[in-house]
Structure 1
Amino acid sequence: MFSHRNTRRQTQKSPVKRFLFVFGLVFFLMYLGLGLMIIFWKTLPLPLSRNQRLALGIILIVYSFIRFYRLWQKQNDRD
């Protein structure tokens, strides 16, 4: 009974680590949303051609998934 409590306490994340994980997820969603917004929002006030908007949106989406992959790897390494 006590050994279960000790192992759970040892595997529980600190508040700072949990905050940084949630913060990373928020930024993943922000970059993903910004990339999609640049691609699909027609009246976005950016003086870019359609191809430039598509390229910038794809770059932001790819970058968001790179951030998510790194965040996921870091989270799994801690466990």
Structure 2
Amino acid sequence: SVIIPYKAVTEQLGEFFVYVIGDSSKVTQRKLVLGKSLGETIIVREGLKPGEKIVVQGVQNMKEGAVVTTDTTKVSEAQTKK
């Protein structure tokens, strides 16, 4: 299981998705199976592996294949918080 910020999740017709940042900073939409929510975070039971980078801000305007820039300081902070 992986825990991610709930604001990274989008819902379409009762299914849940995140945008995963892949090679060349291109995003792909990926379907998730969600578990329990824990405040501002949620458990991902299927669809995401530990260490994969996802879009957290601006998900409403995101499109498949978009190129994004990442803020590495925010990524490292998110990984080290317990």
TM-score (norm 1): 0.22
Structure label with greater radius of gyration: 1
Q: Flag the structure with more relative contact order, 1 or 2, with Cα contacts below 8 A and sequence separation at least 6.
A: 1
TM-score (norm 2): 0.22
The structure that is strand-richer by fraction is 2
